[in-house]
């Protein structure tokens, strides 16, 4: 029995280690793909924010529709690149979450919950996917992780 427990602990330890590297990376890559597609669509598409500007929550409803369109487009293009690199992950995760909340209020809320009807289920899934990135960071396969380690080593050398 002790041998089984030891092997199980070894297996679980390996999964924990792999998970700390791969789980945040998988979230970052999937979210990057989804938001990149939305950004490319906006970049090449017609600005339809003027049609729904009155449904934007405060203070976003105070911005001109053209400015809102540009902000959304560029955050949906730059944010995914940053997520893939794991650079500024928390900043872009929070920013894209805010963008998603605005989209839920302005676009999805009136369509119910289901994805098929354009409801708020899919944006809610994105928000839940952003939570581990916001709360725990981008994981070890990220520039944020490398920069943080590099900065901390440099700071220790400076003060020692």
**Could you read off the pLDDT of 73-93 as tens digits, one per residue?**
999 999 999 999 999 999 999
CA dihedral 23, 28, 31, 37 (to 10 degrees): -140
The C-alpha atoms of residue 59 and residue 19 are separated, in whole angstroms, by: 38
The C-alpha atoms of residue 3 and residue 79 are separated, in whole angstroms, by: 47
Q: Is residue 7 part of a domain?
A: no
Examine the pLDDT at 64 and tell me if it is beyond 90.
Answer: yes
Q: Is residue 3 part of a domain?
A: no
Task: Note down the domain range covering 81.
Answer: 22-159
Number of structural domains (the chain) is 1
Q: Is residue 121 part of a domain?
A: yes
The C-alpha atoms of residue 29 and residue 82 are separated, in whole angstroms, by: 10
Three-class SS of residue 116?
Answer: coil
pLDDT for position 124 = 97
Tokens 């929550």 correspond to: 57
Backbone angles phi, psi at 107, to 5 degrees: -115, -50
User: What mean pLDDT is reported for the chain?
Assistant: 92
Q: Is residue 14 part of a domain?
A: no
Q: Is residue 56 part of a domain?
A: yes
pLDDT for position 158 = 61
Q: Is residue 2 part of a domain?
A: no
Examine the pLDDT at 95 and tell me if it is beyond 80.
Answer: yes
Condensed to tens digits (0 to 9), the pLDDT of residues 120-141 reads 999 999 999 999 999 999 999 9
Q: Is residue 17 part of a domain?
A: no
What 8-state DSSP symbol labels residue 138?
Answer: S
149's tokens:
């380690």
Radius of gyration from C-alpha coordinates of the chain: 20
Kindly state the percentage of the chain with pLDDT values over 70.
94
The model carries a pTM of 0.86
């Amino acid at each position: 029995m002790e041998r089984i427990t030891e092997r199980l602990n070894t297996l679980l330890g390996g999964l924990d280690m792999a998970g700390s590297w791969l789980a945040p990376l998988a979230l970052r890559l999937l979210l990057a793909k989804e938001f990149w597609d939305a950004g490319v669509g906006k970049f090449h598409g017609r600005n339809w924010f003027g049609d729904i500007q009155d449904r934007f929550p405060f203070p976003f409803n105070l911005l001109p529709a053209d400015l809102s369109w540009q902000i959304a487009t560029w955050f949906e293009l730059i944010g995914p690149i940053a997520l893939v690199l794991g650079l500024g992950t928390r900043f872009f995760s929070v920013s894209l979450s805010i963008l998603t909340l605005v989209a839920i209020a302005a676009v999805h809320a009136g369509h119910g919950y289901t994805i098929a009807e354009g409801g708020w289920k899919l944006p809610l899934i994105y928000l839940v996917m952003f939570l581990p990135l916001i709360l725990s960071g981008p994981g070890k396969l990220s520039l944020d992780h490398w920069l943080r380690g590099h900065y901390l080593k440099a700071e220790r050398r400076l003060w020692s």
